Structure 1
Amino acid sequence: MRWLTYLVKCLLCGFVAMQIYFVIQIALWIGLNPASTAFQRAERWRLCSWHWSCPVYSEWTPYDKISNNLKRAVLVSEDDIFFQHNGFRFEDMKKAWEKNQQRTQVGSSRTALRGGSTITQQLAKNLFLSSEQNYLRKGQELIITELLELTLSKQRLFEIYLNSVEWGEGIFGIGSAAHYYYASTPAALDRDHAAALASALPAPKCFDKPQYCRKANIHFPTRQEFILENMDRVALAPYSSAKSSKSIKQ
């Protein structure tokens, strides 16, 4: 029995140490920009392995240098009440849980979990976690999400998200995406370009390269049209009276 108690203590200490690491790392991002994310590093390894020269692009753009068109378009696409919630959308999470249960009963345990994730939850996953989808990883994602919301302002969270999210194979952040797709800057993105880029976020590799579209069930022109129709209805700051848009149905 002693060995079991010792093992439990070791696991508990390891868990606590990991959470302390997350807290310290997040606190540093109050004033420092993340150099990379766990997802970026995984993609770099997948694409380049040990090679120094690598087709992975990322450049940081300050929040005030990013077009409001792009900010509004991304909110419509991914999380229309981002500035109003505290990191979670419990109704969406409940629906995702119910769909997961249905798919588990019908299919195999290998079936990917549906997320119902907010922008903060997506950021937590991209910054720290692997792409593996299971309930243990989802639990850690929820803890990190809470830490992010408690430590960083909403504007800072959105800034980090826009500079780290994937916009195509090896393309990370709005600075790289604006240059890659439109030879433009994030500040100069018009409504159409912003809506097109926001429509890509659920399946960025498919948006970039057709060979990745076999697993993507999304029609980008329809999504882009929906985003354009709803861009003026989302709020860019907390406690705004602006009406939120309806959920996009893919």
Structure 2
Amino acid sequence: MFKKIRKIIFILILANIAFILWGKFFNPPITITQISGILNYGKLERDYVDYDEMNSHVKKAVIAAEDQKFFTHNGFDYQAIEKAYRDNEKGKKIKGGSTISQQTAKNVFLWQGRSWFRKGLETVYTFIIELIWGKEVILERYLNSIEMGQGVFGVEAASHYYFGKNAKNLTKSEAAWIAAILPNPKKYDPNNPSSYLRKRHTWIMRQMNNVRLP
């Protein structure tokens, strides 16, 4: 029995290593979150595109909105994590302090939800993809795999869904609108923005001026 368990664990480890290496060159065929989107909304709107087909506006917008230290940290923003911990201890609205790298690890390899077990796996995957994939690949996988609407995944599908155009043709304002909905893409709609979303959009537009791409 012990040998069988050890063999299963060994196979799972090898499969994970193969999937991580494969992910450096290819987008995921499907993710757990995307399967959830199919089950919940009966659709999967997704169209993977290469990094060069995503214009600088959308890259700057998501970095400005989600992780302004993306190109300088090692996968973890320790100041943001510490602040999130202090805020959560004080009973404020729960925040994760997750970087784009961590969100990519979660969305590509894992599932949504809050647990120490999932967070531990996310940490391991984040560390590995930072070493193996590099920043450009991580950002491409992030922009292709994250949920950007009800059953809508990735910036290309979101561009068509909200603005009827390719991601490479998004204006600065349109890119900022897509980035603005990321805290809760199932709830927010750039075509029918709340006052909060309008303020967030304006803030992202300003922050984009401070983002420098390599």
TM-score, normalised via structure 1 length: 0.77
Partners of 1:95 and 1:13 lie apart in 2 by 42
1:28 pairs with 2:22: yes
Which has the greater radius of gyration? 1
* Corresponding position of 2:200: 223
* Corresponding position of 2:147: 166
Partners of 1:218 and 1:85 lie apart in 2 by 32
Partners of 2:20 and 2:195 lie apart in 1 by 33
* Corresponding position of 2:54: 66
* Corresponding position of 1:195: 176
* Corresponding position of 1:52: none
* Corresponding position of 1:247: none
Change (3 A) 1:154 1:132: same
**Equivalent residue in structure 2 for 1:80, among 68, 72, 76:** 68
State the 1:46 CA deviation: 2.6
Letter in 2 for 1:165: I
Partners of 2:41 and 2:109 lie apart in 1 by 19
Alignment RMSD: 2.8
State the 1:219 CA deviation: 1.1
SS state of the match for residue 197, structure 1? helix
Partners of 1:20 and 1:99 lie apart in 2 by 39
Partners of 2:46 and 2:95 lie apart in 1 by 28
State the 1:96 CA deviation: 2.0
CA contact (8 A) 1:200 1:207 kept: yes
Partners of 1:25 and 1:150 lie apart in 2 by 15
Structure 1: tracts of 5 or more residues without a match: 49-54, 107-111, 238-250
Change (3 A) 1:127 1:68: same
Partners of 1:132 and 1:197 lie apart in 2 by 22
Superimposed CA distance per residue, residues 96-128 of structure 1 (whole angstroms, 9 cap, x where no aligned partner) = 22333444xx9xxxxx96310000101111112
**Equivalent residue in structure 2 for 1:152, among 127, 133, 143:** 133
1:99 pairs with 2:76: no
State the 1:137 CA deviation: 1.1
Superimposed CA distance per residue, residues 201-246 of structure 1 (whole angstroms, 9 cap, x where no aligned partner) = 1111112399xx9xxx981111110111121211212xxxxxxxxx
Letter in 1 for 2:26: L
Superimposed CA distance per residue, residues 53-104 of structure 1 (whole angstroms, 9 cap, x where no aligned partner) = xx2200011111111011101100000111111100011112222333444x
Letter in 2 for 1:24: A
Letter in 2 for 1:77: A
CA contact (8 A) 1:73 1:231 kept: yes
Letter in 1 for 2:134: S
Change (3 A) 1:64 1:75: same
State the 1:34 CA deviation: 1.3
Letter in 2 for 1:30: K
Letter in 1 for 2:158: A
SS state of the match for residue 167, structure 1? strand
Change (3 A) 1:185 1:209: closer
